[in-house]
Amino acid sequence: MIRQATSCVLLLAVQGVRAQSYFQQEVNYRIDVRLDDAKHELHAFEQFDYHNNSPQTLDTIWIHLWPNAYKDRSTALCDQLDRMNNFGLHYATPEQRGFLDSLAFTVGPSSVPVQWGPHPEHIDIAWIKLPSPLAPGEHTTISTPFRVRIPSASFSRLGHAGQAYFITQWYPKPAVLDSEGWHPMPYLTQGEFYSEFGSFDVRITLPANYVVGATGELQDAHERAWLDSLSTVPYADDQKFKVRKQRARLNATPPSSARTKTLHFKQDRVHDFAWFTDKRFIVRKGSVTLPRSGNTVTTWTMFTPENADIWKDAITYVNESVRLYSSWVGDYPYSACTAIDGGTAAGGGMEYPMITIINDSSDPFELDVVIAHEVGHNWFYGILGSNERDHPWMDEGINSYYEQRYVEARYPGLRIKNVQGLPIGSLSMGQGITYREQNELMYRFNARRNQDSPPDTPSDEFSELDYGTTVYAKSAVAFDNLRGLLGEARYDSCMQAYFGSWRFKHPRPIDLERSFGMDKDPALASTFRDAIMTARKADRRPRHPMRSMVPEIDPRNDSAGFRFPEFKFLAGLERKDRSSIYWTPAIGYNTHDGWMPGITLRNTTVPDQRIEWVLAPLYGTQSHRLAGGGRIAWSHDRLNSGWLRNVHVGVSGFAASQGADA
């Protein structure tokens, strides 16, 4: 009963601040960490200054201990991965798992020990009971040692693959307190982050032959000179890396140096600190001039020899990403931007302030697009620090629109031939589809089955498929439609105003609406909320144009009049201007009819149709009779019921012949 009562009090503390005007806490970190690459452990000491800018006196602070998400089967991470049919963590060995321990929290210059304990439900969240209340406007310093056992990189973002280390979400970190209350949240792989802005002063000790990329400005002149020298070393010509044996030899991990080094990184106005290290990294350095301020940003790429042929031009991709996002949204505010080759690590394709990790890419174009998307998150997540867990469209959705815009700017006229493994080139007679049409196709694939949720759904409530088709694809098209409604100049002006007003802060959806003037334009606000806050479908009709942000569910309704359907062999994508009938040869056999040649006709395609039919007329060469069968089905896919997603009604039949006894 005591534990239950304590749990109730703590959960009430989570709700402690409600319906108040905007304020923002500040957390400034000092961390000394040592990498033990034999045991795959971090040994660290952390101090953070917590500034209470809220109007409430605090006696409890919630802390994220996210490495504990990898500790056992009880965690929210393991539960989510199980639901996604990814059972690696569930069945992991103790050596593959990770955790954070050796904590001993103290407060103040006198290092007064404090009471602390785990969240009632999640072992990767803890609470700290302050020895004396922290009044508005006051600050306190909290210190602790800690140890991290680094898990296998095959599970999620924190991990190691041999002696390649991906050190993310690795230190005790206070949860956000805002006008809606505390936001303690367990670590998830689908569902990202929400953290307080502040400063980081981090020292990393490790064997001297590791190459390190990290958030922040490197303070060590000797290390900067070493990286500069590495960036000018030619690694090989392209042909050399096409020889598999040579590639494997160059990609082998060398022994760790017996000598260590300590690297010092500092950075203000960020809400996280990540670092990546590998002894094999090839380093390339570049720079880009910002379009507004004229400031210069130093750019870096760090990649393994195995992927050198694909990464050889990656510095250009980073430069162009920084330049174009700065011109569209607002200048990049930091001094450096880095892209890291993460290989097959599960946490690849993930953003952190000033640095991003990229997983394996199949070709340079794919690498360019992924780098652009992840670098773009410096604006939508890094600088505009929205609550990604509750409002995933505010970073992933808006950023996916800018990814689409990036592709259109960098590759004008490009048509995609492959979408998520689907051979779009073959289905579209070799023509492919535009990048926007790719997003429309992904949205309709799920929306036609009425399996889509509103984009403004908490990220952990989406199915894995819906997360991609709604948060990314639908939101990208919706914001492209908003650009069409407003005109590009006004759209860019509004987004730049949003960026200028809310950078280094925690904007909410209402703040974006106000930046676009929706508080004074009810019609625009209505279509915005239809697109983002609901799963309503938009279906335009000829002579009745709609001004909507919602992607169109069936573009074939746009044109008036009748057009004969086109006949196509085998399969194809849905066309906007007419319907299609697909045909394939067919053959069957039974003892009465004998061999039965014929044809299969159908209208089924990608995405699903509301009315789908298949007709397979066959001719019996022995019975000289018509055989075969057919099916027609109708789906009601526009239901608004919370419990009934779709209704299917269909009928099928076949022709049968019977032999008579003689």
Distances in Å between the Cα of 633 and the Cα atoms of 341, 576, 608, 612 are 48, 22, 11, 5
Q: Looking at residue 203, which CATH number applies to its domain?
A: 2.60.40.1730
- Domain membership of residue 121 (yes or no) is yes
- Domain membership of residue 397 (yes or no) is no
- 534 and 629 belong to one structural domain: no
- 463 and 600 belong to one structural domain: no
- 481 and 581 belong to one structural domain: no
- Domain membership of residue 259 (yes or no) is no
Give residue 576's pLDDT.
Answer: 76
Strand partners, 143: 47, 106
- Domain membership of residue 396 (yes or no) is no
Q: Is the peptide bond before 607 cis (omega within 30 degrees of 0)?
A: yes
**Mean pLDDT across the chain:** 90
Give residue 38's pLDDT.
Answer: 98
Which of 386, 418, 433 is a domain's end point? Answer: 386
**CA trace torsion 406, 437, 448, 426 (10° rounding):** -130
- 537 and 469 belong to one structural domain: yes
Three-state helix/strand/coil letters over 358-415:
EECCCCHHHHHHHHHHHHHCCCECCCECCCCCCCHHHCHHHHHHHHHHHHHHHCCCCC
pLDDT digits (tens, 9 = 90+) for 223-276: 999 999 999 998 755 445 555 555 666 678 999 999 999 999 999 999 999 999
Give residue 201's pLDDT.
Answer: 99
Other beta carbons within 10 Å of 118: 14
- 465 and 589 belong to one structural domain: no
- 541 and 569 belong to one structural domain: no
Which of 508, 533, 556 is a domain's end point? Answer: 556
Query: For residue 604, what are the domain limits?
Result: 562-655
Give residue 186's pLDDT.
Answer: 99
- Domain membership of residue 395 (yes or no) is no
- 516 and 533 belong to one structural domain: yes
- Domain membership of residue 253 (yes or no) is no
- Domain membership of residue 392 (yes or no) is no
- 489 and 608 belong to one structural domain: no
Residues of the chain with pLDDT under 50: 1-19, 238-239, 544, 659-662
Which of 556, 579, 595 is a domain's end point? Answer: 556
155, two tokens: 């599970």
How many domains does the chain fold into? Answer: 3
- Domain membership of residue 209 (yes or no) is yes
Give residue 249's pLDDT.
Answer: 66
Give residue 417's pLDDT.
Answer: 78
pLDDT digits (tens, 9 = 90+) for 222-232: 999 999 999 99
- 275 and 203 belong to one structural domain: yes
Name the residue type at position 414. Answer: L
Give residue 239's pLDDT.
Answer: 45
Contact 22, 87 (CB under 8 A): no
- 617 and 499 belong to one structural domain: no
Say which residues have a Cβ less than 8 Å from residue 189's Cβ, sequence separation at least 6.
77, 80, 81, 84, 155, 156, 157, 346
- 287 and 148 belong to one structural domain: yes
- 233 and 90 belong to one structural domain: yes
Task: Report residue 206 CA to chain centroid gap.
Answer: 30
